[in-house]
Amino acid sequence: MSVSADDITQIAVEIWESMLGLDAVVVENPLAYEGREVRSAVQINGSWQGAFMIETPMAGAVSFTAAMLGYEDGEEPPESEVHDVIGELANMGGGNVKALIGGETRLSLPTVAVGERLDMNVMGATELVRVNFLADDQPFSCVVVSINGGS
């Protein structure tokens, strides 16, 4: 099983366009950000084990939530909605990765973490793919990891 950067790019671009109405553009290097950030992950278990994760600063999470839920300019969604939307974006991305993998697999519920200098990781996992994006002037990354050497 192999998931490429092109696969992840296509998945993210389609989700951001169809669900948020935003253009997601690949950027060469991750954009540094400080302060609160949001990370979400869904695990894929079965014939292949791994996870799909989204990482973004809080400002990006708020922007993406506002776009998805149709907030007007200047309106800020409550943090509970931010958690729900970033979790759902990870769920959609994970579902697409699951479809690429095939075989007998299932998705976990999304996990969402908010804080500063987060280090969210999946125990025993190795990073396979990381693609960095910019959408609505906000950075985000999509990451796929495998557990126990799955590729």
Q: Which residue has the higher pLDDT, 1 or 129?
A: 129
Per-residue pLDDT reduced to its tens digit, 58-115: 999 999 999 999 998 888 899 999 999 999 999 999 999 999 988 899 999 999 998 8
What count of residues does the chain have?
151
Q: Which domain holds residue 78?
A: 5-147
Helical segments of the chain, H only: 5-15, 58-69, 79-101
| Cβ contact 142:56 at 8 Å | no
pLDDT value at residue 60:
94
Provide the token pair at 38: 């949001």
Of the pLDDT bands very low, low, confident and very high (cuts 50, 70, 90), residue 150 is low
Task: Give the CA distances from residue 73 to residues 69, 70, 77, 84, 142, in Å, rounded to whole numbers and listed in that order.
Answer: 12, 9, 11, 20, 26
- Pick the range with the lowest mean pLDDT from 20-29, 67-76, 115-124, 134-143: 115-124
Closest CA to 42 of 111, 102, 89: 111
pLDDT value at residue 118:
66
How many structural domains does the chain have?
Answer: 1
| Cβ contact 56:64 at 8 Å | yes
Residue 130 in this model has a pLDDT that exceeds 90: yes
CATH assignment of the domain containing 38? 3.40.1550.10
Residue 14 in this model has a pLDDT that exceeds 60: yes
Per-residue pLDDT reduced to its tens digit, 28-49: 877 677 788 999 999 999 988 9
